[in-house]
Amino acid sequence: MQKAFVVIFIAMLSLVACSSSSAPSKAETDAAWMQTNANRADVVFISKISAMTEILSQDSVEPSVILQKLRKYIAENNKAYSNSLAQLNDTLLGLQGEEREAFKKEASPRLDASLEAFGKAQMRLRARMNESEKVELSEVLMTLR
C-alpha cells in the first residue's frame, strides 16, 4: 500500500509542477518555525522533500551530475524518507476531529509549498534534460519507498 502511495505521490508532484520591512521575512519565519518544530511529522517530511528540491534546483550543474547527487541522496536517505512519510500518515490517522483539522490547517500550506517547489524544480531540470536523462530521473524518483 505504501508503494502505491509513493507512485501516487510522485504523480502528484508532476501535476503540482504544472500548476521590505524590519520584520523577519516569511522565509525566515518559516525556517524558525520549522526549527522549533523539527520533530513534527510534517516538518520531518518537508525537510526530506526540501533536500531533494535543493539538489534538483542546481541550474548551473549538468543534469547528469544532478542525477548522481539525487541517486546518492536517495540511497543514503531512503529509509529516513520512508519513515517520515509513514510518520506523517500515522499522525494524520491518529488525530481525530478538531485536532486533525487543526493539524491539516497548519501543515497543509507548508506541505503544499514544499511539494510545489519540488515539482517546479523537477520540471526546470527536465527542460534541460535529454530523453534518456528524463527516463533516468523517473527511475531514480521511483526508488523512493
Residue-wise pLDDT for 18-59, tens only, equals 444 466 676 666 666 656 666 688 888 899 999 999 999 999
Q: Which amino acid is at 90?
A: D
pLDDT at position 42: 86
Q: pTM of the predicted model, to two decimals?
A: 0.73
Rounded to 5 degrees, φ, ψ at 40 are -70, 145
For 61, the 3-state DSSP assignment is: coil
Return the closest-CA partner of residue 34 out of 46, 16, 17.
46
One-letter amino acid at 127 equals: A
Question: Which among 41, 52, 44, 66 has a CA at the least distance from the CA of 10?
Answer: 52
Q: Residue 121: pLDDT above 90? A: yes
CA 110 – CA 41 distance, rounded (Å): 12
Q: What is the mean pLDDT of residues 73-87?
A: 92
Task: Check if the beta carbon of residue 63 is closer than 8 Å to that of residue 127.
Answer: no
- The pLDDT of residue 10: 55
